[in-house]
Amino acid sequence: MKTPIFTTQPTVEALNRMSRNTMMEHLGIEYTEVGADFISARMPVDARTHQPFGLLHGGASVVLAETLGSVAANHCLDGQKQYAVGLDINANHIRSMRSGWVLGTTRPLHIGGKTQVWEIRITSEEGALVCISRITMAVLDKS
């Protein structure tokens, strides 16, 4: 069993509540699983997330990736003292999709005192890699 990394253990229900009235709700992103060292969510591939040619928009994949990495990073901190914000994100779009769901899972590559780096793998429902992303988070002290 993996050692838990979250200082405040998120739940699927709490994460989905937190997403109400946000871009995540607008795009249909739903958290699906929380483990000791990961968070997963799914996003529909439909008119909300398509680009003009009817394919999954790369920007929608980046929204899913940044959402997962940011939420995970902030759950690794003492929220009374610190918070994490996105510093850099990159994404490689591997496979196109026209319909269905994409599934994203984030896991840490580095959890440090001033930065965190998270990898987000986005796959089709069948497990084919659609996008691989990495986000660097800056850890800031609350003043």
- Residue 136: CB atoms within 10 Å: 18
Regarding pTM above 0.85, the answer is yes
Q: Is-catalytic flag, 13? A: no
Q: What is the mean pLDDT of residues 48-75?
A: 98
> Per residue in 23-57, pLDDT tens?
999 999 999 999 999 999 999 999 999 999 999 99
Q: What percent of the chain has pLDDT over 70?
A: 99
Sign of CA dihedral 11, 16, 17, 19: positive
Q: What is the mean pLDDT of residues 70-81?
A: 97
Six-digit token string for 105: 């899972």
Q: What angle do CA 95, 32, 126 make, to 5 degrees?
A: 35
E strand or H helix that includes residue 91: strand 82-93
Sign of CA dihedral 117, 127, 56, 99: negative
pLDDT band at 3 (very low <50, low <70, confident <90, very high): confident
Q: By the 8 A CB rule, do 16 and 33 touch? A: no
Report the chain's mean pLDDT, rounded to a whole number: 97
Q: By the 8 A CB rule, do 106 and 41 touch? A: no
- Domains along the chain? 12-141 (3.10.129.10)
Q: Which of 13, 25, 30, 66 is catalytic?
A: 66
Q: What percent of the chain has pLDDT over 90?
A: 97
Entry field: residues in the chain: 143
Say yes or no to pLDDT of 1 above 70.
no
- Tokens 């609350």, residue located: 142
> Per residue in 82-113, pLDDT tens?
999 999 999 999 999 999 999 999 999 999 99
Say yes or no to pLDDT of 70 above 80.
yes
Q: By the 8 A CB rule, do 93 and 131 touch? A: yes
